[in-house]
């Protein structure tokens, strides 16, 4: 039977794991009541009460006082009830303590099962609550295993794994078991499989957090990040600005002898980072976003939210970038559709048309429904494959 050691164990759980003892008691009473009914018949009305102070368990059966008994397991006549207690009246509940001798072994087994199950549930709930605070944070983790390209990392001070799918990894980046690696927590979700944590190194949020980590002025808000556009493994464009006249946002992010930006670039496997100073003037912002290309002129069409950029003929390939990378990132960074044309074509240009590269947003709603559903948040793709 449940004894003092059992109740002491509940006290220890409450002290060590901050798990409410009363929660266990209530759950256990319900489970023991169910077990008792199964043992002696479901029809019988009964309840089990535990008393932690006295380290006792009591089982009570109860019946309702009625004029005419139709269900002997749940009802008792007024005459019989008054033999137990003269003051009983119709509608009263008559309780009687039952023997627990034969029920002892069942009670002990049930108690053990309930405690183990409840302990797992509460620990899981507490872990999820704690981990939810880490969403949108940068964490240092340890690579625990690698399976078919998917990397599983151990989150510090927890027994929880983070999942980094191939699409969330920086291309050509290699890790070994035991490596320490910084990751960005994209999403945390509880499911029947347990707590699922999606971590990434390819997300723009990862770069944003690295800037906050390495650049105090970004962390304290003196320098603000307006937007980030990233082609993980190749190039990232970061638009920064400040409202303080005495701060150079680009120089601040670069750091002395480039130390700050080099540290961030090294963390993302040598990925190139273009720092762009944000401007409220879309013409100026678009021109800067196409860095490192030189821009001659920019025209915009507000109704189409598109622009046409003229560059020197010998800078056309630089402005567009390999496979259109530079202009795609510039479009994503600015939010404007961008068409790049060489200076030699300007005499033939009469109006701004739909650009060859446009911004297309892909929603990432509930992408954590399954491990294979982790997708990139957005892509910018060319409208056609023809060269400019």
Q: What is the C-alpha to C-alpha distance for residues 16 and 34, in angstroms, rounded to an integer?
A: 29
Q: What is the C-alpha to C-alpha distance for residues 47 and 314, in angstroms, rounded to an integer?
A: 87
Predicted structure pTM score: 0.63
Is the per-residue pLDDT at 227 higher than 80? Answer: yes
Strands (E), 7-133: 46-51, 56-66, 75-77, 93-98
Same structural domain, 56 and 146: no
Half-sphere exposure of 127 (CA within 13 A, CB side): 19
Same structural domain, 167 and 122: no
Domain boundary among 200, 219, 238: 200
Q: Which residues contact 111 (CB under 8 A, 6 or more apart)?
A: 2, 6, 28, 31, 32
Give the lowest-confidence range in 77-81, 275-279, 289-293, 318-322.
77-81
Q: Whose CA is closest to 291, among 346, 329, 322? A: 329
Is the per-residue pLDDT at 267 higher than 80? Answer: yes
Q: What is the C-alpha to C-alpha distance for residues 249 and 371, in angstroms, rounded to an integer?
A: 39
Give the lowest-confidence range in 5-9, 139-143, 275-279, 299-303.
5-9
Q: Whose CA is closest to 332, among 225, 262, 238? A: 238
Same structural domain, 142 and 127: no
Confidence of residue 272 (pLDDT cuts 50, 70, 90): very high
Confidence at residue 43, expressed as pLDDT on a 0 to 100 scale: 54
Same structural domain, 116 and 8: yes
Q: Which residues contact 360 (CB under 8 A, 6 or more apart)?
A: 378, 379, 380, 381
Q: Is residue 219 part of a domain?
A: no
Same structural domain, 288 and 387: yes
Q: What is the C-alpha to C-alpha distance for residues 197 and 132, in angstroms, rounded to an integer?
A: 10
User: What CATH number did the domain enclosing 33 receive?
Assistant: 3.30.1480.10
Same structural domain, 287 and 384: yes
Place of tokens 């990378």: 325
Is the per-residue pLDDT at 147 higher than 50? Answer: yes
The pLDDT mean for the chain works out to 80
Confidence of residue 176 (pLDDT cuts 50, 70, 90): very high
Q: Which residue has the higher pLDDT, 237 or 190?
A: 237
Confidence at residue 101, expressed as pLDDT on a 0 to 100 scale: 65
Q: What are phi and psi of 297, to 5 degrees?
A: -155, 160
Confidence at residue 374, expressed as pLDDT on a 0 to 100 scale: 29
User: What CATH number did the domain enclosing 301 receive?
Assistant: 3.30.300.20
Same structural domain, 177 and 77: no
Strand 378-382 to strand 56-66: parallel, antiparallel, or no bridges (unpaired)?
Answer: unpaired
Same structural domain, 98 and 169: no
Is the per-residue pLDDT at 351 higher than 60? Answer: no
2-41 pLDDT, tens digit per residue, is 556 667 777 777 777 666 777 777 777 777 777 766 766 6
Domain boundary among 115, 131, 147: 131
Give the lowest-confidence range in 22-26, 122-126, 229-233, 257-261.
122-126
Q: Whose CA is closest to 232, among 270, 179, 176? A: 270
Same structural domain, 57 and 117: yes
Place of tokens 């707590």: 195
Tokens of 71: 């269900």
Residue burial 85-94, b: 16+ Cβ < 10 Å; e: rest: eeebeeebeb
Q: What is the C-alpha to C-alpha distance for residues 56 and 50, in angstroms, rounded to an integer?
A: 6
297-301, strands of its sheet edge to edge: 297-301, 306-311, 337-342, 357-361, 378-382
Vertex 19, ends 14 and 24: CA angle to 5°? 90
Q: Are 57 and 2 in contact (CB under 8 A)?
A: yes
In percent, the amount of the chain with pLDDT more than 90 equals 49
Confidence of residue 251 (pLDDT cuts 50, 70, 90): very high
Same structural domain, 144 and 102: no
Q: What is the C-alpha to C-alpha distance for residues 65 and 36, in angstroms, rounded to an integer?
A: 22
Eight-class DSSP state of 160:
P
Tokens of 225: 């990040």
191-224 pLDDT, tens digit per residue, is 666 677 899 999 999 999 999 999 999 999 999 9
Is the per-residue pLDDT at 372 higher than 50? Answer: no
Domain boundary among 93, 109, 131: 131
Tokens of 51: 């008393």
Confidence at residue 335, expressed as pLDDT on a 0 to 100 scale: 95
Is the per-residue pLDDT at 82 higher than 50? Answer: yes
Structural domains in the chain (count)? 3
Residues of the domain holding 14: 4-131
User: What CATH number did the domain enclosing 144 receive?
Assistant: 2.40.50.140
Is the per-residue pLDDT at 360 higher than 70? Answer: no
Same structural domain, 105 and 26: yes
Q: What is the C-alpha to C-alpha distance for residues 67 and 88, in angstroms, rounded to an integer?
A: 12
Confidence at residue 135, expressed as pLDDT on a 0 to 100 scale: 81
Please, is 186 exposed, middle or buried when counting C-beta atoms within 10 Å of its C-beta (0-12, 13-18, 19+)? Answer: buried
Q: Is residue 253 part of a domain?
A: no
Place of tokens 């970061």: 238
Same structural domain, 103 and 9: yes
In percent, the amount of the chain with pLDDT more than 70 equals 75
């Amino acid at each position: 039977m449940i004894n003092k050691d059992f109740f002491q164990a509940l006290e220890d759980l409450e002290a060590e794991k901050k798990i409410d003892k009363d929660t266990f008691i209530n759950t256990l009473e319900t489970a023991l009541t169910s077990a008792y009914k199964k043992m002696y018949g479901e029809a019988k009305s009964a309840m089990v009460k535990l008393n932690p102070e006295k380290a006792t368990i009591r089982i009570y059966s109860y019946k309702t006082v009625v004029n005419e008994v139709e269900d002997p397991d749940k009802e008792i006549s007024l005459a019989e009830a008054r033999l137990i207690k003269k003051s009983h009246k119709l509608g009263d509940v008559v309780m009687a303590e039952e023997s627990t001798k034969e029920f002892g072994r069942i009670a002990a087994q049930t108690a053990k099962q309930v405690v183990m199950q409840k302990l797992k549930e509460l620990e899981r709930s507490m872990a999820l609550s704690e981990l939810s605070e880490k969403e949108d944070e940068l964490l240092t983790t340890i690579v625990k295993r690698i399976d078919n390209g998917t990397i599983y990392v151990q989150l510090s001070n927890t027994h929880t794994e983070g999942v980094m799918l191939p699409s969330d990894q920086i291309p050509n980046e290699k890790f070994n078991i035991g490596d320490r690696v910084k990751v960005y927590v994209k999403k945390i979700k509880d499911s029947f499989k347990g707590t699922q944590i999606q971590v990434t190194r390819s997300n723009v949020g990862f770069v944003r957090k690295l800037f906050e980590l390495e650049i105090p002025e970004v962390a304290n808000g003196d320098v603000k990040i307006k937007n980030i556009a990233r082609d993980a493994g190749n190039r990232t464009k970061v638009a920064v600005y400040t409202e303080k006249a005495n701060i150079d946002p680009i120089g601040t992010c670069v750091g002395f002898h480039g130390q700050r930006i080099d540290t961030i670039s090294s963390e993302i496997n040598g990925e190139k980072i273009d720092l762009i100073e944000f401007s409220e003037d879309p013409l100026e912002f678009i021109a800067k976003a196409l860095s490192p290309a030189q821009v001659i002129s920019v025209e915009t069409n507000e109704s189409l939210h598109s622009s046409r950029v003229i560059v020197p003929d010998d800078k056309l390939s630089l402005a567009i970038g390999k496979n259109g990378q530079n202009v795609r990132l510039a479009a994503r960074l600015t939010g404007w559709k961008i068409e790049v044309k060489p200076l030699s074509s300007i005499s033939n240009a009469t109006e701004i048309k739909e650009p060859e590269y446009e911004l297309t947003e892909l929603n990432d709603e509930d992408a954590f429904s399954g491990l294979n559903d982790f997708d990139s948040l957005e892509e910018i793709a060319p409208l056609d494959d023809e060269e400019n």
